[in-house]
Amino acid sequence: MDFVTYQFESSSQFYDELNDLLQEGGFHDSPESQVNTYISLIVQYQGQFLDQSGQDLAQCCYRLFDSDLFQNNTLSITSTISDRAVQNQAEEDLWVTYHFLYYAGMVTPKAYNWMLTSEFFAKLKYQILRMGGMRLQPLAITLMYEICRVQSLKPQELAILDEDFLHYLLDLVERTRTDEDEGVNYSIIKLLLTCNEQFMLNQTACKAAYNYTPSNTLLVVLADRPGASCTFGENLIFMLNRAEDPSLQMLILKLLYLLFTSPKTQLRYFFYTNDLHVLVDVIIRELWDLPEEQEPIRHAYLRVLGPLLKNSQLAQEQDTYKRPEILKLLAQLGGEEMDESLRQHLWEQEMRELEKLQAENENRKLTYRDRQSSNATIASTSTSTSSTTSTLLSSFSSRPQVRSSSISSCSCNSSSSSLCSSPIVDKKTAHAIQRPASSSSISSAGSVILENVLPPASGHSSCPVHMHMASPPSTPGAISGFIERRDSPLPPRSASPTTQRLVERVLREWLEHELKATAAASAAAAVSSTTTHC
């Protein structure tokens, strides 16, 4: 009804007319015609009667969705609005139309499925590529993300997500890193995460149907951009740190797993070392704090932790970042049924950590003033340390005698200015004096099942872990008794079978990798020494 001319003297008259247009019947020949007239009226007068914040436009959208007209013709009206977006080129019209489509998906999630046509998906890509710096671009990015999030793309839609488009999105992440509105940057990253999800879905479908696994286009693009996607990596971990939505956490963890297990070195070393340290902090916090009902998320974090410790720069560090905290966490997560050899090795690692920290304190050089000021403190703690040591030693009376070659015992002398060299010390003293304070800088904060994409956990390994110490404490709580516990609630002792297998796999692969690295370093040192003597 383009021949109808409207003249409004006030906003109340404008909204009254909008309400009249939503009444069923009248002079319109179809519901689709009514909706097109409704949207055209808003487009024509948006500058005069709608505010710039977008609240008035959102109110107009919800007026339509709450009406009987929309409730009785949801599918046809959604398709009509989608067709309008494909056919129209005017920026003012697309701005209003895209908002109607976005809010339609919020009200009726199935609406995003009805929007998916090759023409509309290609139109969104065009808007993203050609509308840089304009208000339509972030809206088109959000719409494409929502569509990719709720359904699987067909091959013709998947072909739209080509390498050039992904390169553009990654470049856009770098260009918007300093924007005042962080939401734009995060929306692009979320779109890239859903693209990765679609590629993973396609790989699974092709392998099942044709016994063929196509490449993941996002990983191909990231491998071609060494050092050119720093902001993407930084913000990916930052978003994981702040994420409360389990689906977003899962999307991020899936991409992290693919990066750390990639055969390409540039992908395994994609992140800066400092960012990896933040990631370790996030994983430790989440594994401690996740409730029992979020078992799939816990499994996803464990699946990422293993490759992170073994395949990234962390594997090259002399002392793995947060190693004691990781050992304590895995000991608790493994539950009471964890493999006995791993439990023994965990206890051995705990004792070695105490010995190492003790040696660091003994070798610490103090000035004369430091010695004088610390004598009183050490003398006062030595007495309580010796008494607590006797208590702890008695608690280990049922354990087989530890060989002196592994751990040597000595008596505590209260007149000595050095710390007691016995590895069994008061828990509070060990934490307060010997161990540096471990404080985290992190504040507390898909549609594909992870087990269907990632390889299953294996509780066995081809290379056994060698043991050199006596039997450990019988419970995981005793293993962690030497280190002061976190204030966070402990995970349940009765771990699920899947959690237990994942914990055992992480421990075996990580510790065996460390043994191999140590052996290789020793062999290299021996060769170097021989060459020097020659």
| Phi, psi (rounded to 5 degrees) for 396 | -100, 15
Q: Are 62 and 104 in contact (CB under 8 A)?
A: no
CA 300/CA 252 separation, integer angstroms: 10
CA 118/CA 129 separation, integer angstroms: 17
Residue 304 pLDDT > 90, yes or no? yes
Residue 318 pLDDT > 90, yes or no? no
5, 64, 71, 9: which is closest to 38 by C-alpha? 64
Neighbours of 371 (CB within 10 A): 11
260, 349, 363: which is closest to 311 by C-alpha? 260
b/e per residue, 268-306, with b = 16+ CB within 10 A?
Answer: bbbbeeebbbbbbbbbbbbbbebeeeeebbbbbbbbbbb
pLDDT digits (tens, 9 = 90+) for 119-175: 899 999 999 998 877 889 999 999 999 999 998 999 899 999 999 999 999 999 999
| pLDDT attached to residue 533 | 62
Q: Are 503 and 495 in contact (CB under 8 A)?
A: yes
Q: Are 192 and 204 in contact (CB under 8 A)?
A: no
pLDDT digits (tens, 9 = 90+) for 322-337: 988 998 899 888 877 7
Residue 28 pLDDT > 80, yes or no? no
User: What is the pTM for the complete model shown?
Assistant: 0.75
Mean pLDDT calculated for residue range 351-370 = 71
Q: Are 74 and 111 in contact (CB under 8 A)?
A: yes
Query: Where in 56-133 does DSSP place strands (E)?
Result: none
Of 112-126, 179-193, 422-436, where does mean pLDDT reach its minimum?
422-436
Residue 479 pLDDT > 60, yes or no? no
> DSSP states of 455-483 as a string?
PPP-S--SSPPP--S----SSHHHHGGGS
DSSP at 294:
G
CA 483/CA 350 separation, integer angstroms: 9
CA 191/CA 244 separation, integer angstroms: 18
| pLDDT attached to residue 372 | 53
Mean pLDDT calculated for residue range 18-44 = 85
112, 109, 110, 143: which is closest to 126 by C-alpha? 143
CB neighbour list of residue 120: distance below 8 Å, 6 or more residues apart: 82, 85, 86
pLDDT digits (tens, 9 = 90+) for 55-91: 999 999 999 999 999 999 999 999 999 999 999 989 9
| pLDDT attached to residue 376 | 52
pLDDT digits (tens, 9 = 90+) for 281-303: 999 999 999 988 899 999 999 99
Mean pLDDT calculated for residue range 194-210 = 94
Of 141-150, 314-323, 479-488, where does mean pLDDT reach its minimum?
479-488
| pLDDT attached to residue 374 | 53
| pLDDT attached to residue 489 | 47
pLDDT band for position 9 (50/70/90)? confident
Mean pLDDT of the chain: 78
pLDDT band for position 98 (50/70/90)? very high
Lookup: tokens for 227: 């050092």
Lookup: tokens for 503: 């914990």
Residue 182 pLDDT > 70, yes or no? yes
| pLDDT attached to residue 24 | 67
Lookup: tokens for 115: 């929007």
Residue 254: helix, strand or coil by DSSP? helix
459, 470, 462: which is closest to 502 by C-alpha? 459
Q: Maximum CA pair distance of the chain?
A: 103
Percent of the chain with pLDDT over 90: 46
Mean pLDDT calculated for residue range 230-250 = 95
pLDDT band for position 23 (50/70/90)? confident
pLDDT digits (tens, 9 = 90+) for 418-430: 333 333 334 344 3
| pLDDT attached to residue 385 | 46
CA 383/CA 66 separation, integer angstroms: 75
| pLDDT attached to residue 375 | 55
| pLDDT attached to residue 45 | 92
Q: Are 476 and 335 in contact (CB under 8 A)?
A: yes
Residue 343 pLDDT > 70, yes or no? yes
pLDDT band for position 388 (50/70/90)? very low
Mean pLDDT calculated for residue range 190-195 = 98
DSSP at 313:
G
Of 103-117, 176-190, 434-448, 510-524, where does mean pLDDT reach its minimum?
434-448
Residue 390 pLDDT > 60, yes or no? no
DSSP at 197:
H
